Amino acid sequence: MRDKLGLFVFLSAFVIRMLLFIFVCGSPGHSFMFTDSFDYDNVAVNLLEHRQFFQSGGPENFEPYTFRTPVYPFYLAILYALGGRNVYVPIIFQIIIGSLTCLLVYQLGKELTGKIGGLVAGFIMVFEPISILYSNLVLTETLFVFIFTLSIFYFLRFIYREQRKWLFLSGCFLGLSALTRPVALYFFIPMFIVSLIIFKGNTIKRILNFGVLLSAFLLFITPWFIRNYLVLDVFPYFSSVYDYNLFYRTAISLECSVCNIDFESAKEKLEREYEKYLEDKEKSMNLVEELKSRRRFATQKISQHPMKYINLHLKNFLVTYGSTGIGKYSQLLGIHTQIMDFGMDVKTLWSRIKEIFMTRTKIQVVFMIMSLLFSGFIYLSACVGVFKFIKANKDFPVLILFLFIIIYFAIFIVPGERDVRFRLPVMPYIAILASKGLFKRRQS
């Protein structure tokens, strides 16, 4: 590697993530597998043993599976084929992938703010605690962030060099990222808007650029639409995860807030209401039809309390970006931890936070404080970076793109699921904005 600073960033990220891996392996009761991990693991095993994309059972009990998209299960299946059904192999590969993401952030930062700015952006990602954590979990986030960042990397190459090969590559990786996590499915729209802003008044260029981006994007996602049509007879249909989350996360959490009851009570209440909702409707439904029906019911419930819904979304946003990840770290290490209820009000939430601080070990409290200080410093620096990007007219389209990324993933935070993983896709761009905020000018 010619760029020694880039190599330094990559190796630093790799060493830190490997140290956590080694430490976790030595902890009794540790687990690299969380709830969603078992879904991906089961699909991967069935791909190997039965050559079928389904979650459980055998070929005789096969039911079309639409909850997960294919990239991560295939990633696991390939690595299981090479190294056996051993989660250590996917984790080590994810540590490499997470380290490559830090290198990508360094490269992006270097192009936008110079070598020192790129080094700072890269090292923000090197030490970002949630990125370190998820590199050591059998979950999609690390792979998704890497692929999505590659898409943005090539899109920025296109912005500055105006060569459509970069736009085509960006569309390819965007499609691949949507097949890793469905949340990226609609991000081609912000990309198109940014390209409209850049090429003002040139209609032909706009049409050609959008055509290249969209064709590359569709090249990757269309086979999955076709597969779902063949096995479900539904078109277009990409994933059932949104329908599931809208009912089982958002609507139930909203009911907690509206009725001031706990999560399980709210779930039982909504299930009873849903049964009444089905009384005059067709009850013989397959899984996809059932989830679509629940989505329509959940949408009705949400529309009855729009301000409560907005309040719930804002609270989840603050928790997502303010959390230290200590709960996930504790679970990774096999340490018992308290989980916050989804529907707590602010007063109860504050009481629980004080309770958690009182019951943590000194090491855990120090980690939480350091993590909060680190995040707060990065967010403040990123805000300064926004103003500096505004002043630098040449880089203004980059700022628009970064703000679109932050807003897009903020909108797609699942209300009711307070999980730090929802901030991971935006951290590379917050890191670059922070590095811009820390320096007065672009360094050579």
The region that residue 162 occupies, defined by phi over 0 for left and psi between -120 and 50 for alpha, beta otherwise, is left
Same domain, 218 and 281: no
Same domain, 183 and 233: yes
Contacts of 343 (CB under 8 A, 6+ apart): 253, 255, 256, 257, 260, 261, 262, 263, 266, 416
Same domain, 186 and 218: yes
Same domain, 275 and 207: no
- Distance (Å, rounded) from C-alpha 133 to C-alpha 21? 9
Same domain, 282 and 221: no
Same domain, 265 and 292: yes
The answer to whether residue 27 is domain-embedded is no
The answer to whether residue 28 is domain-embedded is no
pLDDT in tens, the chain (444 residues): 568 899 999 999 999 999 999 988 877 667 788 888 988 998 999 888 888 888 765 555 566 778 889 999 999 999 999 988 888 999 999 999 999 999 999 999 998 888 899 999 999 999 999 999 999 999 999 999 999 999 999 999 998 888 889 999 999 999 999 999 999 999 999 998 888 887 766 778 788 888 999 999 999 999 999 998 888 878 888 888 888 889 998 999 899 888 988 889 999 999 999 988 887 666 677 778 888 889 999 999 999 999 999 988 888 888 888 877 777 777 777 665 554 433 444 455 456 555 555 655 666 677 778 888 888 899 999 999 999 888 877 778 889 999 999 999 998 887 767 788 899 999 999 999 999 998 765 554
The answer to whether residue 375 is domain-embedded is no
Same domain, 232 and 275: no
Write out 121-185 in H/E/C secondary structure.
Answer: HHHHHHHCHHHHHHHCCCCCHHHHHHHHHHHHHHHHHHHHHCCHHHHHHHHHHHHHHHCCCHHHH
Overall domain count for the chain: 2
In this predicted structure, what is the pLDDT of residue 235?
80
For 362-374, the DSSP string reads HHHHHHHHHHHHH
Q: E strands within 40-149? A: none
Q: What are 214's two structure tokens?
A: 């969209």
| Residue ending a domain, choose from 279, 304, 329 | 304
Alpha helices (H) along 392-421:
396-411
Q: What are 336's two structure tokens?
A: 């018992």
Domain residue limits at 161: 156-239
Contacts of 357 (CB under 8 A, 6+ apart): 365, 368
Burial of 358 by CB count in 10 Å (0-12 exposed, 13-18 middle, 19+ buried)?
exposed
The answer to whether residue 386 is domain-embedded is no
Same domain, 266 and 230: no
Same domain, 199 and 269: no
The answer to whether residue 283 is domain-embedded is yes
Same domain, 255 and 235: no
Residue 238's nearest CA partner among 190, 175, 290 is 175
Report pTM. 0.90
In this predicted structure, what is the pLDDT of residue 210?
87
Same domain, 227 and 292: no
| Residue ending a domain, choose from 239, 271, 294 | 239
Compute the half-sphere exposure of residue 346: CA atoms within 13 Å on the CB side of its CA: 5
Same domain, 220 and 262: no
In this predicted structure, what is the pLDDT of residue 360?
58
Q: Quote the radius of gyration of the chain (alpha carbons, Å).
A: 22
The answer to whether residue 231 is domain-embedded is yes
- Distance (Å, rounded) from C-alpha 185 to C-alpha 412? 11
The answer to whether residue 57 is domain-embedded is no
Q: What are 232's two structure tokens?
A: 């479900």
The answer to whether residue 37 is domain-embedded is no
